Amino acid sequence: MIGWIHPGLIFIFGALLIPFLKGTGKKVYLLALPVAAFADLVWISRSVPLTTWQIQFENYVITLGRVDQLSLIFAYIFTIAAFCMTLYALHVKENGHHIAAFLYVGSTLGVVFAGDLFSLYLFSEIMAWSSLFLIWYHKTRQSSEAGFRYIMVHIFGGVCLLAGIILHVQSAGSIAFNAFEWGFGWSYLASYFIMLGILVNAAAFPLHAWLADAYPEATAAGTVFLSAFTTKSAIYILLRGFPGVELLIWLGAITAVYGVIFALMVNDTRRMLAYALISQGGYMLAGVGMASRTLQAADGAIAHAVCCILYMGLMFMATGAVLEMTGSSKLNELGGLYRRMPAVFGLYMVGAFSIAGMPLFSGFVSKTMIIESAATLHLPVVWIMLEVASIGAFIVAALKLPYLVWFRKSEPTVEVREPHKNMLVAMALTAFLCVFIGVYPQVLYGALPYAVEYVPYTAGHVIEMLQYLTFAFVGFWLLKGTIHPEPAITLDIDWFYRVGGRKFIGFCERPLIDFANNIDRIIKDIADSFVWFSKNPVAASRILLLSVGVVVTRQLNPSYVQYERDLEELRRVYPRDPENRVAIGMGVLLVLLFFSIYLLIYLTYGVLWT
């Protein structure tokens, strides 16, 4: 039964009309699509739970519309983010950029509502390829190379996902997308492949480097879109397919700490935020891993995904505005922008306070759900790692980056002003949502799928967080004079496949091509020999026998040279030249003779055995 319009298809098919629109009409249309998708979600939320858009294919049922509280909350935040980000990108002139963005959003909603593994894989692949163009539209050498590496990594993840799906369907006989069995042994191989493919999209350590490599090279608006959808859709899939897998707890804690450490080291604003995004994904992974032991952790992972989409999008909007107005995202090339871009700075700090978990901002009401779950489950090491990552995020996003970009003494080399009005309005709307959720968390908690009572604003919790942030601020202030950004390259795990890929390509360009050419030459010589033999069978046989005779006589009687003279004479008369023809019928006769002898031996062998 098809009883509602799929929100993802609104974006996907709506994107097809973008090239035919111009001016104000196009801008209104671009904003109307996410509004229509949101209204569609409001309509179908009245019938939750709902399973529709089912298509019979052979012995399987393709389910494009599985709607419940879990898929619905992700669909809502993706659609809201799409509106804010489209508003931010209204000034972008390339139609292809908007088409890629809408295909990206639509396919993400396809993943969220997928009730079977085949449609899950299909929409995941559309996500990967459409998002690629948001990187390539930056039209630089770095973006071209980063986009190539990006899609190679996602092809690897897609292959792992597809392999796991095939193995799962073979063993279970069903394509339904539900929780997968997890354990140790060959019987769980399908689950291993599926999880590996999803962890690539989640940018979990050590599969994270593609994000910090590619996102900073995308367009200013493209990076904003990229920050919201791929990693969060992966968290959704893990919540649906692998809740409570303990491995995710430790992967999440390691990813949270690893990401924030590298964020402190890099020299690029957008790369710094990319590592911060990786770190925030670690919290969600840990929450998914604890989901079966406490529903608060599951709700925390969902709530943090919602908040992270907003505040990371806001911070990427601000750094994208800096990039568009100054032409640079390098910390060593920026500074002193406070007087020229005060509005961007103020809006950026809302996102920075949110990621830091400061009270009255969105991160405070979501991140602490996961951290307290680790304490409740008596996981002290995980709790410490998540707390350290939280303090590190405050230092990175709320102290180091704004200090070096807006307050460090430096004079811009170009005239700097506030960005386009649509960019400021989009940032203001996103900032409002960050503050609104932080002040009224019940709105977010009421939409979560699991009924968990959680009160973030307790005196002890607020005082504890303010103490952490105060000490971090004092330490940074005392040491800020030692911070001098340098134009250096920070090596990450992607170094291995960058170098390995370059070596492989070098091997393909030289030794492998030489080897292939040698093989071609040998095969050609063999083929020429067969052609020459078929045209000169008698002479060729004599040459072969004389050649053997020359080798033998050289060993037995070196002074005997008659064979060598006869061999030279034959080679002179019958050179290996296809144009020098002798009766080809002799060659055909020899071939027939060979097959006759073979047939005789085969028949004799069969008679003896019977």
- The DSSP annotation for 578-597 comes to TTS---THHHHHHHHHHHHH
Poorest-confidence range of 5-9, 13-17, 480-484, 499-503? 499-503
- Residue 166's closest CA among 158, 199, 125? 158
Which percentage of the chain shows pLDDT scores above 90?
56
Supply 268's token pair. 């690029």
What pLDDT is recorded for position 580? 42
Q: Whole-number mean pLDDT of the chain? A: 85
What pLDDT is recorded for position 327? 83
For the chain, the domains span: 1-242, 246-488, 530-609
Provide the CA 415 distance to its chain's centre, in angstroms: 36
Angle, CA of 133, 509 and 151, to the nearest 5°: 20
pTM value?
0.82
What pLDDT is recorded for position 583? 42
- Residue 97's closest CA among 44, 162, 18? 18
- Residue 133's closest CA among 234, 15, 233, 232? 15
Supply 530's token pair. 């067969």
What pLDDT is recorded for position 150? 93
Please write the tens of the pLDDT for every residue from 534-552. 666 666 666 666 565 655 6
User: pLDDT class for 609, splitting at 50, 70, 90?
Assistant: very low
Contacts of 535 (CB under 8 A, 6+ apart): 578, 580, 581, 582, 584, 587
Q: How far apart are CA 416 and CA 31, in angstroms?
A: 28
User: pLDDT class for 185, splitting at 50, 70, 90?
Assistant: confident
AA identity, residue 332: N
Q: How far apart are CA 283 and CA 67, in angstroms?
A: 25
| 579 pLDDT more than 50 | no
What pLDDT is recorded for position 416? 74
| 179 pLDDT more than 60 | yes
204 or 417, which is more confident: 204
Please write the tens of the pLDDT for every residue from 472-482. 888 888 887 77
The terminus-to-terminus CA distance of the chain in angstroms comes to: 65
What does the pLDDT average to over 188-212?
93
